[in-house]
Amino acid sequence: MRQIEQLVAELFLIAFATAVSTILINNLEISVVNEWAFASYLFVTLAAALVVLPSLQTYRSVWQFTGIGDYLRILAAAAAIVAGAEALGFWFHHSGRSAPALPILQGLLILFFLVGVRVLARMSCTAYNTLARRKSALQSLHCESVLVIGLSGLADLYLRFHSQFEPHQIRIEGLLDDDDRQTGCCVRGRPILGTPAQILGVLHGLEIHGVVIDRIVLAIPLGQLSSQGQMALRDITNSTKIKVELLAARMGLEQCSSTTEFSCDHTKSSVGRYPSPIEDYAAPMRRPYWRLKRTAEPAAALGVLILVAPLILSAAILTLLDVGFPLTFWQLRPGYRGSKFKLYKFRTMAAAYDRRGYRVAEEERTSSIGNFLRLTRLDELPQLFNILVGEMSFIGPRPLLPIDQPSGFSERLLVRPGLTGWAQIKGGRDISPEDKAALDIWYIRNASLSLDIKILALTVLMIAFGEKVDRAAIRLAWQERQPFGTCSPSDFAVMQGTSLASLGTSEIKEAN
């Protein structure tokens, strides 16, 4: 039944294309003669279509999943229909039916409409799937970070599969390949980070950016790896809890240690995680102000970006003179409802390792320029782009690294993180993470336009005169904490901490 409906729809589109092409050829003039010529030409066109369409079976493809092969078949059908209509018209001597340019225009319009309706159906299906994935993301408490080893057809299939299905459950952070000439290139938007022999350095570099790998997927047989790559991979499995699996043995989303090729001692502490709230249970989040704020902030961010463009350029030049390229530093942090996003800052410290791979002392990495950028908060200016794309807000809880997220304070993830916030003007770096979280939750309960304006004004004073601890505001936040935090513990995943020893104090300083 669906095929008959699609055939009827295609015939209607062909008739519509014929009508439009006839009207255009006749300079939008309609007369009795033209109407008779059009009726005759429409008849022979539909007669040709009733032969061509079943022969090429264009109507049998599902519109939402059409590809280049289907479009080529439609191209052939359009040409055949026009040729058939011309042949039938000549056969019946409809000499006055059309201008010479009519078949060309008609064929182009038939191609446009038949392909266009499939493209629209495909876009509609993609939009629906995207919305469904976003809704399912609200229920997801865990997003697994994966590293893929090996460039192969199977690796390409794996990347395509996870970009289409459940992207909120698995995040592919990058690939490794034995050919070091590929380093820096991209495969379907994922970067090639290095070779398997360099996997320890790659993992350390990702940790600096707040990315902790949960699983390594081998997209090629183990025997195809270099001996150095195999040794490095075995070191990983013997010293960490990272799972390693053969993609050929298991192609899917399930985590299954039975497919692991290596033995693991599980001596490393578990990966730090942050939760995503399951539902909007908090009454403060249903106030209209949050919708108004979300609507107005992108436009405000664009205006601020225009106003402070000279300041951004100056900060970029200072960064270039101080530490060189790249100018920005990013870290993966929990945002709205726990979803990950890349938070950007201007770099204020030189690289942690020199060209020979030796660690650089912290005093050699910092400079007066970097300290100035941090003190004046100019290093935070790139986060205006995070606000512009909807990942952050001007006012809200500051986004923390997953391992720094205080346990039991998941409510602060109910809103988009902010460029500044109540916790920053009431204590900033001089108070504990728990006090900051309590202040953030107090803000969520009491957010308003007047409070946001007050926070912006006090932020300017804080930058000018330094941070001061407001003990009264902290006590008030803790007093109001209990009524807001009475939800069942099962509503949120409990945070698991992990050591920052591997990052060193310099990376922590850069991260904060």
CA–CA gap between residue 14 and residue 78 (Å, rounded):
9
CA–CA gap between residue 247 and residue 158 (Å, rounded):
8
Residues 414 and 351 placed together within one structural domain of the fold: yes
In this structure, is residue 269 part of a structural domain? Answer: no
In this structure, is residue 158 part of a structural domain? Answer: yes
Residue 134 has pLDDT above 50, yes or no: yes
In this structure, is residue 264 part of a structural domain? Answer: no
Total number of domains in the chain: 3
Higher pLDDT, 39 or 388: 388
In this structure, is residue 61 part of a structural domain? Answer: yes
Confidence of residue 55 (pLDDT cuts 50, 70, 90): confident
Range of the domain at 47: 2-135
Cβ atoms of 435 and 474 closer than 8 Å: yes
In this structure, is residue 418 part of a structural domain? Answer: yes
Confidence of residue 423 (pLDDT cuts 50, 70, 90): very high
Residues 99 and 172 placed together within one structural domain of the fold: no
pLDDT at residue number 296: 92
Closest to 22 measured CA to CA, from 105, 127, 89: 105
Residues 227 and 293 placed together within one structural domain of the fold: no
Residues 503 and 380 placed together within one structural domain of the fold: yes
Residues 338 and 416 placed together within one structural domain of the fold: yes
Q: Tell me which of 80, 101, 135 is where a domain ends.
A: 135
Residues 319 and 202 placed together within one structural domain of the fold: no
Residues 287 and 411 placed together within one structural domain of the fold: yes
Residues 94 and 42 placed together within one structural domain of the fold: yes
Within 8 A by CB and 6+ apart from 316, the residues are 327, 346
For residue 485, what are the β-bridge partners? Answer: none
Higher pLDDT, 411 or 398: 398
Residue where the block lists tokens 């298991």: 250
In this structure, is residue 272 part of a structural domain? Answer: no
pLDDT at residue number 154: 86
Tell me, rounded to whole angstroms, the distance of Cα 112 from its chain centroid: 31
Taking residues 293-320, what's their average pLDDT?
Answer: 91
In this structure, is residue 266 part of a structural domain? Answer: no
Within 8 A by CB and 6+ apart from 429, the residues are 467, 512
Residues 318 and 452 placed together within one structural domain of the fold: yes
Confidence of residue 474 (pLDDT cuts 50, 70, 90): very high
Residue 8 has pLDDT above 50, yes or no: yes
Within 8 A by CB and 6+ apart from 60, the residues are 3, 6
Residues 39 and 176 placed together within one structural domain of the fold: no
Higher pLDDT, 510 or 25: 25
Q: Tell me which of 196, 225, 259 is where a domain ends.
A: 259
pLDDT at residue number 135: 56
In this structure, is residue 147 part of a structural domain? Answer: yes
pLDDT at residue number 248: 80
Considering 134-148, 201-215, 275-289, 397-411, the range whose residues carry the highest mean pLDDT is: 201-215
Question: How many residues are there in the chain?
Answer: 512
pLDDT at residue number 395: 95
What's the whole-number average pLDDT of the chain? Answer: 79
Residues 289 and 346 placed together within one structural domain of the fold: yes
CA–CA gap between residue 419 and residue 456 (Å, rounded):
10
Q: Tell me which of 135, 169, 204 is where a domain ends.
A: 135
CATH code where residue 218 lies: 3.40.50.720
Residues 307 and 372 placed together within one structural domain of the fold: yes
How confident is the model over 203-239, as pLDDT tens digits? 988 988 888 899 999 998 888 888 888 888 888 888 8
